[in-house]
Amino acid sequence: MKRVGLFVCHCGLNIARTVDIKDIVEKTSKRSDIVFAADHKYLCSEPGQALIKDSIRQHKLDAIVVAACSPAMHEATFKTIAQLSGLNKYNCEIANIREQSSWVHDDPQKATEKAHIIVSEAIEKVKLNEPLQPITVPVTRKVLIIGGGIAGIRASLDVANAGYQVYLVEKSGSIGGRMAQLSETFPTLDCAICILGPLMVEVYRHPNIKLLRLSQVEEVRGYIGNFKVKVRQEPEYVDVAKCNACGECAKVCPADVPNEFDFGLTWRKAIYTPFAQAVPPAYVLDAKNCLGLLPQACGECKKACDQLGTACMNLDAWPQTHELEVGAIIVATGYELYDATKLTEYGYGTCPDVMTSIEFERMLSASGPTLGEIRRPSDGRVPREIVFIQCAGQREPETALPYCSKICCMYTARHAMMFREKVPEGQAYVFYMDIRAGGKGYEEFVKRCQEERGLLYLRGRVAKVYEENGKLIVKGVDTISGKRVQINADLVVLAVGMIPSAGSKELASTLKASLDANGFFSEAHPKLRPLESPTAGIYLAGAGQAPKDIPETVAQASGAAAKALDLLSSPTLEREPTVAQVLETCSGCGICIPLCPYEALTLNANTNQAEVSEALCEGCGTCVASCPSSSLSLRNLTDQQILAMIEAIVA
């Protein structure tokens, strides 16, 4: 017979305001199965916990019930103090009389009655609890990082430098992500690829980083510390180790494809290098746009390569599946831009001289479609009057994206400033709602752009953009002067919003990680835990979690790496032992096996009974409910316990 103690918390007034604490303590003390009962204003505080510790010692308690707030809040705390006081921590039960009683009821009498019942239930349960031990599992000390942009690159380097193996999986033919597509970065105006390039090379050369390009995560099984991942890699028609990026193959390729790196503003061949500084520095064969590989329709690229002696092509390559075992996964999948054709009033898609900000960025770039010159896409002339529209399709809960993408005010200032530098006789107008320049040096940067380059900032939105006689008529408003404004522009640039990368939804499903209402990967807590997914073992870095700029991305990537390293710092991990167990009455019918969402049940061929992998089991109870002979039981939540709890309720 266990010596059970009850501790009731006032939780300040949170519980005490509605529930009669004294009554609970008094009536419960009279129970024959209760040795000691006490109350305290704040049980989770130091003095509160000291009370528990001292009482356990004084009254030689071997099980306790803490009647307080939700177990989600402090169960871990109270279990720890129980353990420190010499108890098995599974002999500590929480009776939630706050969220389940005082916070949801007004009538004190009824709330107190209900609290009594909740406490009785917990007492009945704890009386039958077994003193379980946590399950220890080994940790695979390797990390999978999904996404090779600046976030993935930074996280990879941090983990690899700490001495652990990293698998960096990148969808496209090269790492670098969006940052590689930028011309400069604000506020320093560093050349983006110049500061990114060395990091990319470091990743490629690092002995602890295995880079898998043209790869996507196909399947994830297992759990924190023990993930088993299947990564599918597109056929490597080009041997990355042998290719020296000479480009002879591309010279003879007959297939022209719009270059996605330049958003269709330039062309590439079916065999191509994503961009000049691509890592790995090897060409990629785009099988979809190649004239044909099965059967081989052309093969000129391979011929050219063989002739040179490099001979690094194999047109009969197959996709590969890599099976990886890792302990932690970092999601760094980044962003893409909102489809501007949806913003019908701005004419994107029908008027060739309306561009998105990232297309303009490519045009600014020295390696871009115009080698850094600003030209109108329609006739190639240099634009004189250029209009930038901020918040395009953003901060619009009714018509487009409801949120703000954070970076557009900054890059628009940079774009307008670069335009005026390259076209001094031109005029730049920026239609804005607010200027959001919160980062370090950002406000000063925007002011500098405005003042030194004479940019015209108009506070208001643009209602319509349409073409007339070769000009773009921009109809907007300047709310500060209260006047309507019409600008006959040569070029219009839309700052459209950041949305999660394509494939995020499918990846979230594969990882069993959650997405928020806007499709970005959810964090465990928006304030205090922004680097972890609620799914254990999965960490988040970069714009895939929410729109952000490069400094924040790098900070978050290093943070996520630190979290992963924390996980890897010990060779073992403890898992909750409140898992399913198979009783000897199991007849091997197999009904439970396919029902387990975690694939923790198997049929043992020798014993012809079900078997639970305790490490995989999450204790959900689905199998227990399904067993027709009640041969499955949940540790510390057995049928016997549940029946005892029900009796406590109806008594």
Binding site for another protein (CB under 8 A): 344-345, 395-400, 461, 463-464, 466-469, 473
CB burial of residue 424 (10 Å; 0-12, 13-18, 19+): exposed
Q: DSSP string spanning 267-326?
A: EEESEE-SSTT-SS-S-EE-TTTSS-BTTBS--HHHHHHHHHT---B-TT---EEEEEEE
Least Cβ distance, residue 344 to another protein (angstroms): 4
Nearer residue to another protein within complex by CB, 191 or 473? 473
Least Cβ distance, residue 462 to another protein (angstroms): 10
Within 13 A of 295's CA, how many CA atoms are on the CB side? Answer: 0
Least Cβ distance, residue 473 to another protein (angstroms): 8
Q: Quote the distance between the C-alpha of residue 235 and its chain's center.
A: 28
Least Cβ distance, residue 423 to another protein (angstroms): 27
Strands of the sheet containing 4-9, edge to edge, are 34-40, 4-9, 63-68, 92-96
Least Cβ distance, residue 466 to another protein (angstroms): 4
Least Cβ distance, residue 376 to another protein (angstroms): 18
Q: Which structure tokens are listed for 631?
A: 């041969």
* Cβ neighbours around 581 below 10 Å, total: 15
Under 8 Å CB-to-CB from 295, ≥6 apart: which residues? none
Nearer residue to another protein within complex by CB, 351 or 555? 351
Nearer residue to another protein within complex by CB, 345 or 639? 345
Nearer residue to another protein within complex by CB, 487 or 617? 487
Q: CA gyration radius for the chain?
A: 31
For 176, 351, 478, 501, 502, the CA distances from 395, given in Å and listed in that order, are 29, 24, 18, 20, 21
Residue with tokens 């950041």: 498
How much helix, strand and coil, in percent to the nearest 5, is found in the chain?
A: 30, 25, 45
Nearer residue to another protein within complex by CB, 345 or 452? 345
Q: Which letter does DSSP use for residue 525 in this model?
A: B
Within 13 A of 40's CA, how many CA atoms are on the CB side? Answer: 20
Alpha helices in 407-461 (DSSP H): 408-422, 442-453
Under 8 Å CB-to-CB from 10, ≥6 apart: which residues? 16, 21, 39, 40, 41, 42
Nearer residue to another protein within complex by CB, 110 or 464? 464
For 318, 334, 367, 492, the CA distances from 359, given in Å and listed in that order, are 34, 18, 13, 11
Least Cβ distance, residue 205 to another protein (angstroms): 48
Q: What is the SS3 assignment for 107?
A: coil
Least Cβ distance, residue 343 to another protein (angstroms): 9
Nearer residue to another protein within complex by CB, 294 or 517? 517
Nearer residue to another protein within complex by CB, 239 or 467? 467
Nearer residue to another protein within complex by CB, 486 or 604? 486
Maximum alpha-carbon separation in the chain: 95
Least Cβ distance, residue 465 to another protein (angstroms): 9
Nearer residue to another protein within complex by CB, 283 or 348? 348
Least Cβ distance, residue 404 to another protein (angstroms): 12
C-alpha angle with apex 441: 439 to 444, nearest 5 degrees?
Answer: 120
Q: Are 386 and 489 in contact (CB under 8 A)?
A: yes
Least Cβ distance, residue 220 to another protein (angstroms): 38
Q: Which letter does DSSP use for residue 206 in this model?
A: -
> Measuring CA to CA, which residue among 100, 92, 91 is closest to residue 118?
100
Nearer residue to another protein within complex by CB, 371 or 517? 517
Nearer residue to another protein within complex by CB, 381 or 464? 464
Least Cβ distance, residue 527 to another protein (angstroms): 26
